[in-house]
Amino acid sequence: MSLVRWRDIGSLPCSVARTLSVVGDRWTLLVLRDAFLGIRRFEDFQRDLGTTRHRLADRLRTLVHHGILERVRYSERPPRFEYRLTEKGRDLYPAIVALVRWGDRWMADGDGPPIELIHRGCGQHVTPALTCPACGEAVGARDMRAQPGPALRKRISMEAER
C-alpha cells in the first residue's frame, strides 16, 4: 500500500475520502454550520467564527468552487455578495446534524446541548435518527454491512485483468 498525501485524498475510490477532500477541514465545517443556521454574509461569518479574512475567503471560495455554496449579489452599489447553500450544499445537512447529535451526546457540558433542533412543521424538538428507508427500523453501525459498490467492483475487475 502506498502513502497517500492529503492533497490526493479526493482521487481515492472512497466516498468518505472524496467528501473530506472538500469539507474535511474544521473551518469549512464551521462555515457550513453557520450557513445552515442562516448566516449568509462574509462579515457575519467572520464575526461568528472569529477567523482571519484570508482563511474565511479561502473556505468560501472552495465551497463555491465545488458547488456547495453560491455567491449571490444582494447589492449593486456598492457591489455586495452573500453565500447561499445550493442543493448540493443542503444535502450535507444530515452530516452536520450527525455531528451535532454526536457532540450533544459526548461533548456537551453540564448545561446540556447548545442548540435544539425544532421541526418547523409541528414545532417539536427532534433528535434525528438514521433509519432504513425500506423497513423504517432505526439502524446503527452494528446493523449495517458494507460491500463493494459499482465503482469498486469495476476497479477490482480491472486490477484482476492485469
Tell me the per-residue pLDDT of 98-133, one tens digit each, with 9 for 90 and over: 999 999 999 999 999 999 999 999 999 998 889 999
Residue 35 contacts residue 50 (beta carbons within 8 Å): no
Tell me the per-residue pLDDT of 34-45, one tens digit each, with 9 for 90 and over: 999 999 999 999
What phi, psi does 15 have (nearest 5°)?
Answer: -65, -35
| Predicted confidence (pLDDT) at residue 93 exceeds the cutoff of 80 | yes
Of 128 and 137, the structure prediction assigns the larger pLDDT to 137
pLDDT at site 132 = 96
Q: Where are the domains of the chain?
A: 1-91, 94-162
Whether cis (ω within 30° of 0) applies to the bond prior to 78 is yes
CATH code given to domain 1-91: 1.10.10.10
pLDDT at site 1 = 57
DSSP string, 31-83: HHHHHHTT--BHHHHHHHH---HHHHHHHHHHHHHTTSEEEEEEETTTTEEEE
pLDDT at site 139 = 94
